[in-house]
Amino acid sequence: MLARMALRRVGIALALLSLIFVGGGHAAAPETPSAQAVDTEVLDRVLDLFVRDGLVYYSALRGERTVIDRLVSVLAEPSPGFDRWPDDDRKAFWLNAYNVLVLQTVLEHYPIQGTSSSYPANSIRQVPGAFELRRHRVAGREMTLDEMETGAIAEFGDPRLFLALGRGAVDSGRLRSESYTGIRLDRQLDEIVKEFATTPRHV
């Protein structure tokens, strides 16, 4: 039984890596939003495997750390024609970027065991400067997670986007088990608003 589980995880990891390095939508690199956004096929698989009801199984996801790091590296430089993408495609890009960077931040410090009395011991807020100090390169811009939220994401003027951010906390918006894509973004965001409005702890 354990051997089968181990083989299955190896198979999953190889499949994810093959999508990124061989067929992850960046080999031919046509100038279309669907091909140039975050590797959504890879991200979909990661989220589907390791996120359930908004909760991330970080102990298992730790085994796929190289996949997350590769996703982050793809975010660094802008894709051809990025500034001319339709708004929904750019919104989806920034949401996916933010959520992947939060996953990477937690994995880098997992298991989190902080000492600040202001937050739970395992909170991402125990990581010094996780949101306000640590800088990331995304689409050719250097920014913190807070700057991404209050700048690149806020610029769209769509308040639904803030509920789609997985901030690594139970009381934040729920991380979905799928990536965001422009073609389905309106439906995804409407679902998030309905869920948020009917969840007692959020209300």
The per-residue pLDDT for 172 is 81
pLDDT(169) > 50:
yes
Q: Are 68 and 103 in contact (CB under 8 A)?
A: yes
Which residue carries 């011991």 as its tokens? 121
The per-residue pLDDT for 36 is 43
Share of the chain above pLDDT 90, in %: 71
Residue 93, C-beta contacts closer than 8 angstroms, at least 6 positions apart: 37, 38, 82, 85, 139
Select from 80, 101, 67 the least CA-distant residue to 37: 80
State pLDDT tens for residues 61-117: 999 999 999 999 999 999 889 999 999 999 999 999 999 999 999 999 999 999 999
Q: Are 42 and 58 in contact (CB under 8 A)?
A: no
Q: Are 190 and 197 in contact (CB under 8 A)?
A: no
State pLDDT tens for residues 179-192: 999 999 999 999 99
List of E strands, the chain = 51-52, 55-56, 136-138, 141-143
User: What average pLDDT is seen over the chain?
Assistant: 84
Give CA 90 to chain center in angstroms.
Answer: 14
To the question of pTM greater than 0.85 for the whole model, the response is: no
